[in-house]
Structure 1
């Protein structure tokens, strides 16, 4: 079975020109879904580009039958209320929604999904510069400009620019699993994982460097996250006083030693939730966060989701089945 057909709806401006954002987002979508990575999943996705000639290989009727429909940025005139979307695009989006396709927008593409009624009753994100306009023109949409992307099952929205790549990798993770998405991210030389809930969602920690005087001590700690660790232990490994060690960790990592440990333990828990089916109790032990209750408290406070909800978000489910 194929990973699914992804159809992209391009909307040029009144002069028939695609904006730099359209081109950037189209290239992002093409790198993820249009290049066949059949060694990771065979067959890979099928990409279909829809819109007016000469930019596309299909008209907007090509959205029909796609498993996933993606709308990149629309012209600024449309987002700012000075222009109209093609009526055939709006109709095609409504038909795709009725058929059960997964609907995705990047940046101002949210205005197209909103015009088709797809976002009614949903939480959606758009670049913060356009959030007031989207909220004012579509009051049935809950606009959140503080996150990278939203995932409400069949309806997903992204903040645009780099967040568009995060959203595409998130779709691959949902469809094909964390291992495939992680390897694809490595090939694209981007972070393997930036969940959408908040920009500050646990940034991927930088590995300790050999030339850093903290490096050996912190690598030693990373190998023992499951054990009880104290600042005094780490300071001794670094051959520093606790006070000097505390100051150096702040200078290099911008946080305290205990917060650094907590961040690394949460990151370890994330990796285990994504890649294993270990029970939450065992993940608490393996990550050094202790009991399941302690894991839930720190994980939810840091990530914004419970461990169970986080794991559910990254369980491969395949593209949505249309018409169900």
Structure 2
């Protein structure tokens, strides 16, 4: 039963990510019939901590509290991606998992969990900006860079900032049911569940080629996203053989002509979904997918959410 919750803080903690934990687990909402958690904030590095925002926190150092917590949560912090952590914290986190407690991290807090070894051979999430660094530093863990959170056998890791809310509400829903999770979300004025993953938040157009022949073809392809083309046709425009063109295209863009074209179509579809009220079929036709079903298939694979879900989140009001 989720009752005893402890947030463990280190020097440089990010106030927002700490605030997420305080908001979900630290408020008394019993007037709405919602559970009240026994919530504590614990410092692992002295009674006074400097936050990432530049102000100090006076925090209890009762590390023994971690031995009884049902949930130990680690918010993000400054320099977590390359610093070392107190052995006592890492030991407490591992003991928590061994006795069946849940451990949850927000954003770069995952580096604390990774340093403890508990993520070895597990799936995990972090902010998309940290994913590559995390995978390189800890090659034994499985980093999923396009999701909002991962729950792997009671070890929950979340991506950047607000996805910590998603992870916390997921845990509440899992342990105490949808009615409780929805009630907390309603009080926080946030959606109880968000569709999709981080990919919909990452602005990542594929790189533009620099060599003149390929750059010219790229420009032509951008102007004709609604056309079906073959490598042979594109190679002829670049005055190259298909094999040479495919190799040069890969060198210049890092991907194949087909993947590049799909990416550009998805980017255009995103813009149309945000800025217009066109029907799904109209967006699909304009972006070069032909029909809404084909667009939905490729859009979901590329962004992790549906076109309808993306429009609900990002459309101009």
Question: Aligned-pair distance for 1:254?
Answer: 5.1
1:27-71 deviations in Å (ceiling 9; x for gaps):
111111000222445542211111131332243332111111111
Larger mean CA deviation between 36-45 and 176-185 belongs to 36-45
What's the counterpart of residue 63 of structure 1?
66
> In 2, are the aligned partners of 1:124 and 1:142 still within 8 Å (CA)?
yes
1:106-157 deviations in Å (ceiling 9; x for gaps):
1111111111111111111111222122111211110111111111230110
| 2:29 aligned with 1:37 | yes
What's the counterpart of residue 321 of structure 1?
none
| 2:10 aligned with 1:8 | no
Match of residue 47, structure 2, among 50, 53, 64: 53
- What SS class does the counterpart of residue 108 from structure 1 fall into? helix
> In 2, are the aligned partners of 1:6 and 1:47 still within 8 Å (CA)?
yes
Instruction: Show the 5 A alignment for 1:310-321.
Output: none
Distance 1:128 1:42, change over 3 A: closer
> In 1, are the aligned partners of 2:125 and 2:145 still within 8 Å (CA)?
yes
Cα separation, 1, equivalents of 2:139 and 2:3: 33
Question: Aligned-pair distance for 1:172?
Answer: 1.7
Q: Larger relative contact order (C-alpha < 8 A, sep ≥ 6)?
A: 1
> In 1, are the aligned partners of 2:145 and 2:198 still within 8 Å (CA)?
no
> In 1, are the aligned partners of 2:105 and 2:158 still within 8 Å (CA)?
yes
The two structures, once aligned, show a CA RMSD in angstroms of: 3.1
What's the counterpart of residue 232 of structure 1?
none
| 2:20 aligned with 1:28 | yes
> In 2, are the aligned partners of 1:150 and 1:196 still within 8 Å (CA)?
no
What's the counterpart of residue 268 of structure 2?
none
Unaligned stretches of 5+ residues in structure 2? 49-57, 202-271, 285-295, 306-317
TM-score (structure 2 length as normaliser): 0.58
| 2:65 aligned with 1:73 | no
Question: Aligned-pair distance for 1:249?
Answer: 9.3
TM-score (structure 1 length as normaliser): 0.57
> In 1, are the aligned partners of 2:2 and 2:71 still within 8 Å (CA)?
no
Distance 1:256 1:170, change over 3 A: same
> In 2, are the aligned partners of 1:3 and 1:44 still within 8 Å (CA)?
no
- What SS class does the counterpart of residue 191 from structure 1 fall into? coil
Distance 1:31 1:259, change over 3 A: same
Cα separation, 2, equivalents of 1:249 and 1:32: 32
What's the counterpart of residue 148 of structure 1?
148
